[in-house]
Amino acid sequence: MTTPPTHTEQPTLSRRQLLQACLVGGGIALSGFSLLHWWTGSRLTAQTFIGQAETYNTDLAKLIRQGFQELGITPSEIKGKRILLKPNLVEPHQSLSHINTHPLVVRGAVEAFLSLGAASVVVAEGPGHRHDTLLVLEESGLADVLYEDHIPFQDLNTMGGIVMPNLGGQTTLATLTFPRIVKEVDWVVSLAKMKTHHWAGATLSMKNFFGVMPGNYYGWPKNVLHQAGIPQSILDINATLKPHFAIVDGIIGMEGDGPIMGTPVQSGVLVMGRNLPAVDATCCRIMGINPDKIEYLQKADQWLGPIHESLIEQRGESWRTVHRPFALIPEIPAHRGIRLT
């Protein structure tokens, strides 16, 4: 496999111009490009892994461990770590496997992390559409898996918060309030669902972190974040939280009018990686969506991570092998012009 490029030609910029750019605090960095990487001429690169799983009855723990190995995650890196898994739980419908992260994907991730020596694994979520988190947990089928496997669950909507400076600077929110548990764990992992989205174009590992923000502070369905701007809030949350890993459930995803009213589509994949923009860009390509046309990914490029194919080293399956274009709806503005050609 060709090694992705790591350097580009260094731009010409005087020291005074560089300092002025830093002081104004907007120009380059806030446009979605890391000022440091722009100045040095280096390019962010990443690795992602695509594993095939035709059904949820596949040994998903084994597949996730394979992904860990391909991505260089070793037992010594995980041993003794406290892991938080954040699934995507939207609606209480166990029979509709295209809406929520499937319980068996959660089980597989729990088993995979514990097998590498994690000290603890907790599953945590703050659903945005339902006030009754327990109802969503039970009706989605996840409660049964957690009970059988003795895995704790935390409701992030009602948990006490900690205030952190907004490191993204994309919204007008000066600070962000996260549930206190994010400071009590070592790894925060997005267990997202592969879906289209009627406002963001696609909802994947980065958008999944809307569910980290407590409903007690941000309302339902996280209205404060919607009013601040969905793409902008996605960037602020991820820049501030700095998640460690992502696993996207695309075994059965959602096309059309996602993230709730769409229809199921079988892609038969799990996509994972350390860098969330790279993971989401890879998912978009599988879905037949151009990641350059998704606003939050375009802005994240070379700030939070790479999205261009040449800078993402693909492990496991090639995205072209599992490419399955998701249906888009032309009447939805966020779906217009995003098709990968």
- 153 DSSP β-pair partners: 123
CA atoms within a 13 Å half-sphere pointing along the CA-CB vector of 131:
3
Encoded tokens for 242: 């700095």
How many whole angstroms separate alpha carbon 70 and alpha carbon 313? Answer: 11
pLDDT at 26 over 50: no
* Mean of per-residue pLDDT scores for the chain: 90
Torsion sign, CA atoms 250, 254, 255, 260? negative
Higher pLDDT, 187 or 94: 187
What is the model's pLDDT at position 42? 84
Closest CA to 156 of 187, 177, 142, 135: 177
Mean pLDDT of 24-35: 45
Instruction: Kindly report which listed range (17-21, 84-88, 202-206, 303-307) carries the lowest average pLDDT score.
Output: 17-21
Instruction: Give the number of other CB atoms < 10 A from CB of residue 223.
Output: 12
- Give this prediction's pTM: 0.89
Closest CA to 63 of 120, 97, 104: 104
Burial class (CB in 10 A: 0-12, 13-18, 19+), 330: exposed
- 30 DSSP β-pair partners: none
Instruction: Enumerate residues 6+ apart whose C-beta is below 8 A from 113.
Output: 78, 81, 83, 85, 121
Domains in the chain and their CATH numbers? 46-289+307-335 (3.40.50)
What is the model's pLDDT at position 131? 77
Encoded tokens for 117: 């020596």
pLDDT at 10 over 50: no
The DSSP string of 47-73 is EEEEEE-SSTTS-HHHHHHHHHHHTT-
Mean pLDDT of 291-318: 98
Higher pLDDT, 2 or 260: 260
